[in-house]
Structure 1
Amino acid sequence: MDYLKTADELFHKSVAGKLGDSDYLTIANWPVDRVMPLFAAADLVRSEYCSTEVDPCTLMNIKSGNCSEDCAFCTQSAHNSSSVSVKDLTDPEEIKRGCEDSFAKGFPFCVVSSGKKLNPKELQTICHALSSCKGEKHASLGLLTKEEFAMLRDAGVVCYNHNLETSRSFFPQIVTTHTYQERVDTVKRAKENGLSVCCGGIFGMGESWEQRVEFCRELKGLDVDTVPINFLNAVPGTRLRSPEESPLELLKIVSLFRLAMPQKTIKVCGGREVNLGPLQSMIFFAGANGYVSGGYLTTPGAGLDADDKMIAALGLEKRLQGK
């Protein structure tokens, strides 16, 4: 295969919205010792639509642990034996301070809770807290109804995060206490209520490349706005092992999603530090234009300062809301 020519063809097909079945297969089978032309194609697509701007975000874990769902990867599941602390709903004043601090730094702010969903009183508390906060507000609060999404929207939430986690065919090996379709329907309800949707998953859980392509096509079909890509950071007590794939193989996933969804935000999140190591800055050259900074729900990240230095060294600029 002429890798330079093939990469050029993928670039042009991507921007024209004409990536076909054979192209997905080409990306899946692309050898890591020839991967730089593929990254270059994805980077050109990113540059075409995003220029030098990248989209950061920070998270606040507002309710932690003791989750009834049996997600195999999750430290917060009551079905796993990891030692994550259980924390009831965060005090509204602390949520407001977190939101204000994030806004002062120019970052969107996302509240995230454990559990299948918040109860009505908890949701009302969160909505009341967020309604008095300035800035770009996101939320990830489980399987909500149409009426509950309307409450979030009225509180000023503009984006809802609800990951499908993996492909439809692999999902039953990861979660059994709720269905894939429940997650898909939640994504659709969020969109129907006028919220943008951040929806992706975790890679390196044992899924095949064919299932990665399947997952990519599912998200493309749902027309989600942002795709968060997480790499499994297996914590003792959970039921999965960390991926044995090389950083370059994992970065191919970023390129797949960028080429498939050229105008969407492709955001690399949890596990990038652990799985990519010194190559984590390559996420942008592989096609990403977003990232979560400052830490994740139950595991630490590189930190805001380290991420800021990385972005500056790459000649990129953060999209700072409110600035």
Structure 2
Amino acid sequence: MTDLKMSLGAMLFGTSIDERTSFALLDQYVDAGGEWIDTADCYAFWVDPSGHGGQSEELLGRWFAQRPGVRERVKVTTKVGCEPLWPGSFPEHSQGLSAKVIDDALETSLRRMGIDHVDLYLAHRDDLQTPLEETVAAFSKHAAAGTVGRIGLSNYALWRVERARGIAERLGVTGPTALQMRYSYLQPRPFVRNKAHDHRFGWITDEMLDYADRNPEQELFAYSPLMSGSFERSDRPFQEAFDHPGTTRRLEVLTEAADELGVTRSEVVLAWLTGGSPAVTPVVGVSTPAQLEKALSGVRLVLPAELRTRLDEAW
């Protein structure tokens, strides 16, 4: 297995990104040593005419079927909890995390992808209507059965993460060992996170970094690390929540670092994520071979210690 610290985001594969392009990107990623592939059972309901998800998993299933042996070379992450109950019902009404939903959704995800297990199964967002004990027990049942390798949580408040771990310890079952949240080199102003995102607790905060640093079994995955191309494209400005003096200073230093190294700002961001303490694995979405090549270059890049210190201290 490779030590390439990246997960390829397959969110739009099979919808906005057509099958031929998706297959080519997956092939390029695996040939380069890529291992983790990230999807969810609800991808991508917001762009599919049906208003429901599943297209990304189905495309991965077709790719696996046409690439004998490739399943043994990759690790699959998928998620449960955000599929709309009916078209247009998200976020107010989604499937949640009851035991029945988890059982049915995992069976469906495995069938779509034509595989017998997922390497990391994530609760896509917290479900406060279902007892946490029920959710923890349902996930751990599948870990014990071998249909789930690891359990993770996404878009969770940290106190709920720790409570889930405590329940798992009390029950003597497998608990979560991965957290997937939004994170990048820039941070929004305090208390306006919900204006930049539809998940109130879907952020890696300083507290969460400390938590992972002191609990090394908890691996951090960061989605939207390149902020939809805003580091490179003037036609994709950063959201208003990021408009503050800290962003101005961070971008100045980030640009200086990229110029000194002769790379793009996005490559520096990925190197900063993967080489930090604790290290963070970026989930990177791409739509072209050139974008993927830049992403791979970024996660392979090792920042000089002095440059990393300048990036860290720029506020």
Normalised to the residue count of structure 2, the TM-score between the two structures is: 0.48
Q: Which has the higher contact order (CA 8 A, sep 6+)?
A: 1
Normalised to the residue count of structure 1, the TM-score between the two structures is: 0.47
